């Protein structure tokens, strides 16, 4: 994956396929290559050119350990789209990546043809604020949770009970989380420390581009009512709720999610 110099930092990115460009924006703490498991192959097969990248905070992109704001990530994404010589493009975000996509629709509508927000949100409720404060305290403490316990907590917070009720799926996911866990990097800590006391719901009434908001029915991190709230605020936006899916719904139920994306792109 090449490194692009944009907005004063380096961004690690990759482009596959040909056709209309779709830019996929990942959430907190995850690299862009996560999209390659299910979304990139489906979109490329459907005739789209797909760009994935590591947000600042995720090496080998600039870690920006000293701190960052959502506006920085928005400017990074805009700079990458401009570097690719494309626009307007389709943008798809998940969780924090949805916040980036939402703000991009406001600040640079010239770069956005259509937008999809998975686990999108214009604010956080008290649970998410408390969880974020707890993550900050845990990061600052230097305490490393036992791998199996951390895997179990990650699973409960990000997967649907339907997934965990299946012994084979539960074992595979828990093994994956245990294997990929470990110390939190300075860049991920900086992502986690971004402002969580925000309310942008009313501002999103000014978004003019066609938007799809996808909520995951069993999402504990961003409950679906927050994603529906975004669709209700944006004029003409469509809301779609995916059943039996948690925060990682695009990985748990990729066929359903990919169909929702492609149907919206073609509409």
Any idea which residues carry the catalytic annotation?
95, 219, 247
- Relative to beta strand 238-242, strand 9-16 is unpaired
**Cis bond before residue 214 (omega within 30° of 0):** no
Q: Bridge partners of 216?
A: 242
CA atoms of 181 and 188, how far apart (whole Å): 13
CA atoms of 21 and 88, how far apart (whole Å): 9
DSSP string, the chain: --EEEETTEEEEEEEESSSSEEEEE--TT--GGGGGGTHHHHHHHTT-EEEEEPPTTSTTS---TT---HHHHHHHHHHHHHHTT--SEEEEEETHHHHHHHHHHHH-GGGEEEEEEET--SB--HHHHHHHHHHHHHHHHT----HHHHHHHHHHHHS-HHHHTSHHHHHHHHHHHHHH--PPPHHHHHHHTS----B-TTGGGG--S-EEEEEETT-SSS-HHHHHHHHHHSTT-EEEEETT--TTHHHHSHHHHHHHHHHHHH-
């Amino acid at each position: 994956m090449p490194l692009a110099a944009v907005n004063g930092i380096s961004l690690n990115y990759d482009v596959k396929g040909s056709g209309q460009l779709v830019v996929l924006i990942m959430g907190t703490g995850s690299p862009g290559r996560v999209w390659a498991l299910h979304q990139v192959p489906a979109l490329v097969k459907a005739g789209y050119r797909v760009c994935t990248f590591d947000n600042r905070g995720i090496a080998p992109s600039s870690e920006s350990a000293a701190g960052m704001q959502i506006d920085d990530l928005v400017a990074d994404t805009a700079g990458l789209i401009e570097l690719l010589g494309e626009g307007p493009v389709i943008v798809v975000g998940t969780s924090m990546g949805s916040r980036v996509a939402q703000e991009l629709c406001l600040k640079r509508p010239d770069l956005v043809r259509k937008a999809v927000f998975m686990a999108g949100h214009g604010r956080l409720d008290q649970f998410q604020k408390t969880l974020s404060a707890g993550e900050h305290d845990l990061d600052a403490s230097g305490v490393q949770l036992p791998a199996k316990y951390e895997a179990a907590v990650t699973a409960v917070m990000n997967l649907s009970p339907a997934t965990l009720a299946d012994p084979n799926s539960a074992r595979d996911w828990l093994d994956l989380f245990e294997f990929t866990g470990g110390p939190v990097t300075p860049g991920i800590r900086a992502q986690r420390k971004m402002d969580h006391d925000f309310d942008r719901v009313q501002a999103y009434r000014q978004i003019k581009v066609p938007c799809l908001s996808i909520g995951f029915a069993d999402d504990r991190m961003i409950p679906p009512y927050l994603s529906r709230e975004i669709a209700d605020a944006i004029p003409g936006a469509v809301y779609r709720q995916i059943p039996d899916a948690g925060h990682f719904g695009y990985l748990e139920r990729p066929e359903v999610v990919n169909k929702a994306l492609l149907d919206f792109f073609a509409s």
